[in-house]
Copies of this chain bind each other. A is one copy, B any other.
Amino acid sequence: MRKRKGAGRPTISDVAEKAGVSTITVSRALRDPSKVSDHLRRKIDNAVKKLNYVPHSHASALASTRSNIIGVIVPSLTNNVFADTLRAIYDAFDQGVYQVQLGNSRYVAKEEERLVRTFLGQGPSAMIIAGTDQTEITRELLESAPCPVVQIMEIGDDPIDMMVGFSHFEGGRAAGIHLVQKGYKRIGFLGARMDPRSHRRMEGFKEAMRSGGRYDPDLIMTTTTSSSVTLGAELIGQLRARRPDLDAVFCNNDDLALGALFGCQKAGISVPDDMGIIGFNDLEMMAASYPSLTSIRTDRYAIGKHAVAMIQSALDSEMPDQKIIDVGFELQQRESTSRKR
């Protein structure tokens, strides 16, 4: 007689036998207790406990053709911005039946494509993916995926399915306008990584400079190096070396802004009087620094929460209230741009 090993763990049949019922009754008792009489339910619960039975999720997924997996793809695990959104997603799916499956694309489009393929192989219940700059193939894969798809962190005209985020262009523009209004004259831009969202912030900034009559491409300093506080100090040093008359900077993100502050302090430049600094995202530290740092506040946690809510209403086959949610942003003015004119 041919035999196979199995996983060596108790199966639903073991439970059924112990409880004196059929396997399907056990299955029902575990998935929807109201479908089974109290009498049998108690017996089954006991058997489950005694055997320390845990359902085999793969068998369940195969039989029901529902995996209960939510695929999430982000470009970075160490960036606080994504960490906050991820936390929201994990919090929201916490109690339910869904399992979050996380992938790190490391800002590489081909990597993202590979992850999408892998995740779709698990027949996910939904997909969450950061950004709007997928490759053609990735887009096609996701468009034909038989599950809800939410693009997060930013918004645009042409969602694959649903979207939640905010306009990075407008965020960058708001930062630029703020510096112009504060009376700064030679306003620079410091950018690290320069992923698509950073680019759009920069474009928004440029737009603000142009309409404020302050546009000067020589004041823009970017690098593809990944962002860090140290880099912020270096970049402002380089930009000041090139343009000693620089009197304000919009930093791509808060790490750079904090680094720029430290760089100024080291060089004996007074913030905000001789140098205005504004960051992006408003991480917690921005309010605590000395001087405190102005930033564009974004609600990353809300993005995650909305994404899950959209998925849940899509899975309940309700029409979502909207296909695109703009969570906006808010300029948080602090000491680093509050000079006396």
Contact A122 B287 (CB under 8 A): no
- Determine which of B120, B146, B255, B289 lies in contact with A229 in the assembled complex, contact meaning CB atoms within 8 Å: B289
Within 8 A of B (CB), among A43-66: 54-59, 61-62, 65
Within 8 A of B (CB), among A77-101: 77-78, 80, 83-84, 86-87, 90-91, 99-101
* Minimum distance in angstroms from A238 CB to a CB of chain B: 15
Q: How many copies are assembled?
A: 2
Contact B258 A54 (CB under 8 A): no
The docked-state distance in angstroms from the alpha carbon of A165 to that of B4 is 39
Contact B120 A54 (CB under 8 A): yes
Contact A102 B104 (CB under 8 A): no
Q: In the complex, given contacts A58-B61, A80-B80, what are 20 additional A-B residue pairs having Cβ atoms less than 8 angstroms apart? A: A5-B65, A54-B121, A56-B62, A56-B121, A56-B122, A58-B58, A59-B62, A62-B62, A77-B86, A83-B83, A87-B104, A99-B101, A99-B118, A228-B284, A229-B288, A230-B284, A255-B285, A262-B288, A262-B289, A262-B290
> Which A residues are closer than 8 A to B by beta carbons?
5-9, 54-59, 61-62, 65, 67, 77-78, 80, 83-84, 86-87, 90-91, 99-104, 117-118, 120-123, 146, 228-230, 232-233, 255, 258-259, 262, 265-266, 284-285, 287-290
